[in-house]
Amino acid sequence: SWVRVKARLRTEVGDDVFSSWFGRMELEGIDEGGVRLSVPTRFLKSWIQSHYAEKVLTCWQADRSEVGRIELIVRSAVLKTTAQPKPKVEPALAMHGENRPHNGNGMSRPIPVGDAAVHEALGGSPLDARLTFDSFVVGRSNTLAQAAAKQVAAARRTDPVMFNPLYIHAGVGLGKTHLLQAITWAGNAGGERKVLYLTAEKFMYGFVAALRAQNAIAFKEALRGIGVLVIDDLQFLQGKSTQAEFCHTLNALIDAGRQVVIASDRPPSELESLDERVRSRLAGGLVVEMGGLGEELRLEILKARVQAARAHHPTFDVPLPVLGYIAKTVTHNGRDLEGALNRLLAHSKLTGQSVTMEMAEREVKDLIRPQEPKRVKIEDIQRIVARQYNVSRSDLLSSRRTANVVRPRQVAMYLAKTLTLRSLPEIGRRFGGRDHTTVLHAVRKIEGLVGNDVTLSEEIEILKRQLQE
């Protein structure tokens, strides 16, 4: 059953995540109600516990419903050396060489490091051959990010580094990974500066492996052989020691004039768990936000996608009004646009019918988001609440308890809780380092009042409308 559980886990989290975190997990034993699993490092244990505990449990329960509890232990060093298969030694950056869309001039020289763990760490995360600058559609919300990315990809070794790091942030599905991989493809095809693309998970995993092999120095040296280090989804970087290593790496690379590019779903100031020094270093380069894809941009992306699909499916076509309909209604993000087209493609292939408006309306129904709620930022809440009640933002964050500040502060915390996904402790921290119970108290207080206090509930409605505009 362990084999089935592993297979299920793999399909649920994807190959990449599975091999990073669960590849070396082993079954130690099963007794009534509980399963004992082991991993080779403390880091893996705490990572799996904090990120995948639920998932592991449900995968077990799907197989044996009586399992009520998972116990995760760290295998002893002795066990580890005998149980571990010898790591395969692969040339570093093989991924980039194999998948490169335009065959460059074959300059994928492996980085000369001896340690397998280091190789693994430097192997780079898999790249998608479709995510290039050519297929990236530029519009108002991403012009700056695209220009900066192109600049980075085209820069030569001797060029002065203009902005370092380049930090791109945007919500899910708005093209961060696309741009980062475009830099990687273009940079490596151009040949001047070697670009290494790593997800934050891969970066962390690399460090764990390198540290376990006690070869952190070799790892760092090898990293220094990289011209451009690209790290995707930085918000997933967790853990004190990983962050310390990340900080060293970042400083070493930047001080040596190497380019660092980072993508995250939030600005540096909101990377709650990250060390203050790292945050300020990140904010010290160029920070660019990519906004939502506007309707025009969505239409252009759809057109480009249809063109690309026609290379493989020449009979596939989507009338312009249908594309317009999808661009108007499927507003969420690039992934949903792709999903919508894929369904039309599949449907028209399977039925042999050409795509019509009716088909589109039926097929994309569940992808339609009537009004896309805007991502509201805590700063904006504080700014707008302060303006509305005529107090200063620093009053809101201060410890003053006069009535004219207390109420606006409670309203602002209430809005932060209802309009953002931030947790109570996070909100407390952003409100001058308050305790989460204070935030909870404020939220409850306002919730209790809005039902009876018409003025207050109107004020809150107005604030919400302003924030969501």
The site for Mg ion (CB under 5 A) is made up of 176-177
Choose which of 40, 123, 173, 268 interacts with ligand ADP (CB under 6 A).
173
Q: Does 295 bind ligand ADP (CB under 6 A)?
A: no
Query: Measured from the CB of residue 174, what is the shortest distance to Mg ion in angstroms?
Result: 9
| Complex with ligand ADP: residue 108 or 132, whichever CB lies closer | 132
| Count of chain residues binding ligand ADP (CB under 6 A) | 17
| Complex with Mg ion: residue 75 or 176, whichever CB lies closer | 176
| Complex with ligand ADP: residue 275 or 289, whichever CB lies closer | 289
Q: Are 203 and 231 in contact (CB under 8 A)?
A: yes
Find out whether 55 is annotated in a ligand binding site: no
Classify residue 181 as left (phi > 0), alpha (psi -120 to 50) or beta: alpha
- Token pair, residue 340, equals 């919508």
Cβ-closest residue to ligand ADP? 334
Residue 227 binding: pick among ligand ADP, Mg ion, none (C-beta 5-8 Å cut-off by kind) = none
Distance of CA 232 to the CA centre of its chain: 6
Choose which of 125, 142, 264, 420 interacts with ligand ADP (CB under 6 A).
142
Residue type, 22: F
Q: Does 174 bind ligand ADP (CB under 6 A)?
A: yes
Q: Does 136 bind ligand ADP (CB under 6 A)?
A: yes
- Token pair, residue 405, equals 């500040």
| Complex with ligand ADP: residue 115 or 232, whichever CB lies closer | 232
Q: Are 127 and 181 in contact (CB under 8 A)?
A: yes
Q: Does 137 bind ligand ADP (CB under 6 A)?
A: yes
Query: Measured from the CB of residue 231, what is the shortest distance to ligand ADP in angstroms?
Result: 13
d(CA 222, CA 252): 12
Task: Tally helices (H) and strands (E) across the chain.
Answer: 22, 8
Question: Strand 259-264 to strand 286-289: parallel, antiparallel, or no bridges (unpaired)?
Answer: unpaired
Find out whether 374 is annotated in a ligand binding site: no
Q: Does 123 bind ligand ADP (CB under 6 A)?
A: no
String of DSSP letters for 254-290? HHTT-EEEEEESS-GGG-TTS-HHHHHHHHTSEEEE-
Q: Are 207 and 175 in contact (CB under 8 A)?
A: no
Q: Which range touches ligand ADP (CB under 6 A), out of 172-180, 315-323, 357-365, 392-400?
A: 172-180
d(CA 65, CA 67): 6
Provide the binding-site residues for ligand ADP, judged by CB under 6 A.
Answer: 131, 135-137, 142, 170, 172-178, 301, 334-335, 338
